Homo-oligomer: A and B are copies of this chain.
Amino acid sequence: MTETPQIDMSDLGIASRAVLKPITQIAAAAGIPEDAVESYGRFKAKVDPALVPTRNVGLGKVVLVSGMSPTPAGEGKSTMVVGLGDALAATGRKTIIALREPSVGPSFGMKGGATGGGYSQVLPMDEINLHFNGDFHAITSANNLLMALIDNHLHQGNALGIDPQRITFKRVIDMNDRALRHVVIGLGSPSDGVTRETGFEITVASEVMAVFCLATGLEDLRARLGRMTIGYTYDKKPVTVDDIGATGSMTLLLKDAIKPNLVQTIGGTPAFIHGGPFANIAHGCNSAIATNTARALADLVVTEAGFGTDLGAEKFMDIKARYADCPPSAVVVVATIRALKMNGGVQLADLHNEDVAAVQAGLANLAKHASNILKFGIQPVIGINRFATDTDAELAAVADWAKSQGIECAVADVWGQGGEGAGELAAAVLRAIEVPSNFAPLYELDMPVEEKILTVAREMYGAAGVEYSAGAKRTLEQIHDNGWDNLPVCIAKTQYSFSDDPKALGAAQGFQLQVRELIPKTGAGFIVAITGVITTMPGLPKVPAAMHMDVDAQGNAVGLS
């Protein structure tokens, strides 16, 4: 008897068997001039956008991948981006993928990694999931240099008259470290700084990250960094990074990080992986520079926005597309039968059982997301990410509904088949981008801030109205006094529900959205409205994923997934 060799079908196992092309070859095929490419090892590079000319035929079209409300079952949105990108490339259209960089912190907690899955992954997955080309480290350093300069300013006499109790900026670390959420610093002797209460956030929550991802170039980066508000004086006047004198040195720390990182998919499609802000307290998409560099090179740029259409896609349209002039030509709304069943009332443990009625009940959630996209003047395309437990009857229920609504819908098996599993979806996307778009943001910038928030709450979430805490009301006045009314809004809300109650699945409506806090992010250029409880510093679980990670004798990563 012979034993069947065990094939490792984990994401890391599949990734480690892939044969990668040298990154210089990927770059050349993408039309990137040789002098714009700085290799980081054999399979990663940074690309200098200043040395990438725009093609004669003009900028490529943006295909935005969004999704229905995420569930603990996992929708595989990044996996769909990669598979769809490979499928579009296979049609002969010059295609580049643009994705966010994974945050290291959560990888050691629950997630284990975030670079797609199965045969739809970006590679080298271990390096992308760990330090990658150092961008998040550079952002962490820039953020924390600013903080060291602020606390040094207090210590050296506080010439600006900053109120230590009104410093809103925090230090960051790319680690899930709950014990750093609330800290007191500056203890010890008088030479050990000024004592004050503060906290740490995870790096992806830093406004520096949001600035990094919205900047259209080095000059815009410097200007946005300089405009960030770090706190207020005893007279309640805002203090900026320019006031502290930190703008130049922060820009210096980011000068190389701001260049997009080029890698490849298992299928060989070029991918820019660059930047990664939160999709609640920030706008949740990869850097504007990566998206626009990709558009200068390719016919099609497949990119992702975090969470569902209510969060990531809305912010893509109202914040990123507005600042970086990159409106999508089509939006794919990723759905899974499992997520539909959960939104239809099925428990996580029972998702493997066929339940067509639950799928149909869950369609209310998907329908709301599709209608959200239509409100921006863009046709949605439903992309069903197929799982092994999906039944034909369940899939047919979604297809029938989509047909009845006149919405394109295609099933894709990107995990198991890579780009080959997404042929129908790619065809649907190619039809959708030919439909003339009437893209417009949801609101105008000159509307009052309350009006903007109400518009998003009504149109995207289905809220009846918005209620403000006493503190949020005070901040509204402050926003007005400081002349920040013209900024777009960035609403931080649970991703699990259209409402601010994470347990209200399906398509909650008629609720009052509770705005607990408003945070002006004057460098990123938006007003964050916090609803519900949003943590900007995750914790680790009882048994963190880190416990299973290691390096094998050949120096290869073990335990990433």
Contact = CB atoms under 8 A, between A and B. Distances in A.
B539 A152 contact: yes
Copies in the complex: 2
Contacts of A144: 173, 175, 177
Contact of A40 (B41, B177, B191, B550): B41
B549 A252 contact: yes
A93 interface: no
A145 B180 CA distance: 13
Nearest to A173: B144
A156 interface: yes
A354 interface: no
A137 B148 contact: no
Interface in A240-292: 245-249, 251-253, 255-257
A50 interface: yes
A7 interface: no
Contact of A42 (B38, B175, B540): B38
Contact of A551 (B179, B188, B222, B551): B222
A177 B151 contact: yes
Interface string A500-541: 000000000000000000000000000000000000000110
B141 A104 contact: yes
A183 B148 CA distance: 14
A558 B178 contact: no
Interface stretch (A80-88, A126-134, A390-398, A468-476): A126-134
A183 B187 contact: yes
Contacts of A33: none
Contacts of A542: 156
Contact of A141 (B152, B175, B191, B544): B175
Contact of A249 (B108, B141, B219): B108
A547 interface: yes
B151 A249 contact: no
B256 A127 contact: yes
A178 B152 CA distance: 8
Interface string A23-38: 0000000000000001
A557 B252 contact: yes
Contacts of A549: 248-249, 252
Contact of A187 (B140, B182, B546): B182
What is the predominant secondary structure among interface residues of chain A facing chain B? mixed
Contacts of A322: none
Interface size range on A against B: 35 or more
Interface centre among A175, A219, A257 (most CB of B within 10 A): A175
A399 interface: no
A322 B183 CA distance: 42
A346 interface: no
Contacts of A170: none
Given A40-B40, A176-B148, A178-B193, A555 B218 contact: yes
B175 A155 contact: no
B546 A141 contact: no
A212 to B, nearest CB: 14
Contact of A218 (B41, B179, B257, B551): B551
B181 A188 contact: yes
A493 interface: no
Contacts of A539: 152, 155, 191, 193
A296 interface: no
A68 interface: no
B151 A179 contact: yes
Contacts of A151: 177-179
A39 interface: yes
Nearest to A177: B148
A149 interface: yes
Interface string A213-240: 0000011001000000000000000000
Contact of A540 (B148, B179, B551): B148
A507 to B, nearest CB: 30
Contact of A558 (B140, B248, B551): B248
A247 B558 CA distance: 13
Contacts of A179: 148, 151-152, 155, 185-186, 192-194
19 contacts: A38-B41, A50-B555, A108-B148, A131-B138, A131-B256, A141-B175, A145-B546, A148-B175, A148-B540, A152-B179, A156-B542, A183-B186, A191-B539, A247-B550, A248-B546, A248-B559, A249-B550, A252-B559, A255-B557
Interface of A: 38-42, 46, 50, 104, 108, 127, 130-131, 134, 137-138, 140-141, 144-145, 147-149, 151-152, 155-156, 173-188, 191-194, 197, 218-219, 222, 245-249, 251-253, 255-257, 539-540, 542, 544, 546-551, 553, 555, 557-559
